[in-house]
Amino acid sequence: MSLSPEIVSVIAIFQSAFTSPTWDKAQVLIIGTLLARGRRTVTAALRQMGLGQEENFSLYHHVLNRARWSALALSRLLLQALIKAFVSVNGSLTFVIDEHLERRWGPMIRKRGHFRDSLLSSRKKSVSNSGLRWIVLALVVNAPWTKRCLALPVMSVLAPSPKVSRQLKGRHKTIAQWARQMITKVRRWLPGIPITLLGDGAYSAVELGLRCQKLNVTLIAPLVLDAQLFGPAPPRPLPGRNKRAGRPPEKGARLPKLSAVLVDPKTAWSPITVAWYDGQRRALEMTTGAALWKRSGLKPLPIRWVLVRDPSCELDPKAYFTTDPRQTAVEVVEAFVLRWTIEVTFEESRAHIGIETGASVV
């Protein structure tokens, strides 16, 4: 089946990842899926392309169920194309990462699990979601046809629950561990380019921050108010006579928790104005500082924390951290606001591409 040259020129960037026979079928599935309404299945895609009576329809299923092509190779091609189209030369890159739940069922869906929704759940009510949990990494770009930033997905990995991992006899990986592998792969593809990674509370992890620090990637995420923060490590003591110097200290004195800083009347608050979610400017008050964030069994992570509160008391106080000590409080808050762009992407994907999520109260 022939496609218009305009469509072929857009998707031709992915041709090198497929063999010639598979690429011919993949083009049909790509266009048919975009045109289909409701559930995006292979059958629906073939019907939209006028191939509903195709005798060898099973060959199109082989494109997916055999998957001889590499999803990582496609991610790299897509990322390179987006950078070429939307990012200026020598420009920095901002990525946002979050989870998305795909409601799927059936005997062949082996990695389907149940996941607790921490946002909708409380002590009295537990809200669980059932389906396939995908971790999505998206590139934040400024498109010329709109004033708002867009989060364009470039990579996704399937993150099963601990129970499913045990059933499949595989090693379970946390959300932070998956994110660590994803950003490591991106750094290998893009050496030397300044990269910022934005995540929600699931990615507020010392383990992920240490990897980002090693990769020269700036991580910005929320910080819990009871995080264990310490001052800088004191100098290593000199060895005395017939004594060894011992192991050098990793951290200094324990610092007050941010929950205590929040209510301390001696805390110095500075007014700031930041770009907010609705495109307007919002007045906040902030205090900031540098510290070492320590978790058991891991090296301390040097961070700059930012604690903000709303003078009008409409918003709850929030704390954020960055692994780049040179960033100002305004830069940290405005960068984290860009994390909402991936939520918009998820909502538009549900509305226009048919990707759905759901929740059930148990």
* Radius of gyration in angstroms for the set of CA atoms belonging to the chain, rounded to a whole number: 24
Report DSSP state, residue 166: H
Q: Cα-flanking dihedrals φ and ψ of residue 312, to 5°?
A: -85, -5
Q: Are strands 217-222 and 318-322 parallel, antiparallel or unpaired?
A: antiparallel
Q: How many CA atoms lie within 13 A of 239 on its CB side?
A: 8
Query: Residue 208's closest CA among 273, 143, 199?
Result: 199
Report DSSP state, residue 119: T
3-state secondary structure 183-242: HHHHHHHCCCCCEEEECCHHHCCHHHHHHHHHCCEEEEEECCCCCCEECCCCCCCCCCCC
Structure tokens at 172: 């379970």
336 CB neighbour count, 10 Å cutoff: 23
**Residue 2: per-residue pLDDT:** 67
Rounded Cα distance between 317 and 241, Å, is 52
Report DSSP state, residue 62: H
H or E stretch covering 291: strand 281-293
Paired strand residues for 284: 272
**Residue 50: per-residue pLDDT:** 87
Paired strand residues for 327: none
Q: Cα-flanking dihedrals φ and ψ of residue 104, to 5°?
A: -135, 150
223 and 255 Cβ atoms separated by less than 8 Å:
no
**Residue 219: per-residue pLDDT:** 97
- This prediction has a pTM of 0.88
Q: Cα-flanking dihedrals φ and ψ of residue 89, to 5°?
A: -65, 135
**Residue 166: per-residue pLDDT:** 87
Q: Cα-flanking dihedrals φ and ψ of residue 217, to 5°?
A: -115, 135
**Residue 243: per-residue pLDDT:** 61
3-state secondary structure 101-116: EECCCCCCCCCCEEEE
Query: Residue 323's closest CA among 221, 255, 250?
Result: 221
Helix, strand or coil, per DSSP, at residue 171: coil
60 CB neighbour count, 10 Å cutoff: 20
338 and 149 Cβ atoms separated by less than 8 Å:
yes
Query: Residue 48's closest CA among 27, 31, 24, 25?
Result: 31
Within the chain, which residues score under 70 in pLDDT?
1-2, 105, 116-120, 237-246, 354-362
Structure tokens at 63: 């494109």
**Residue 354: per-residue pLDDT:** 66
**Residue 279: per-residue pLDDT:** 78
**Residue 117: per-residue pLDDT:** 67
**Residue 9: per-residue pLDDT:** 83
**Residue 357: per-residue pLDDT:** 45
219 and 197 Cβ atoms separated by less than 8 Å:
yes
Q: Are strands 195-198 and 217-222 parallel, antiparallel or unpaired?
A: parallel
Rounded Cα distance between 308 and 13, Å, is 44
Contacts of 243 (CB under 8 A, 6+ apart): none
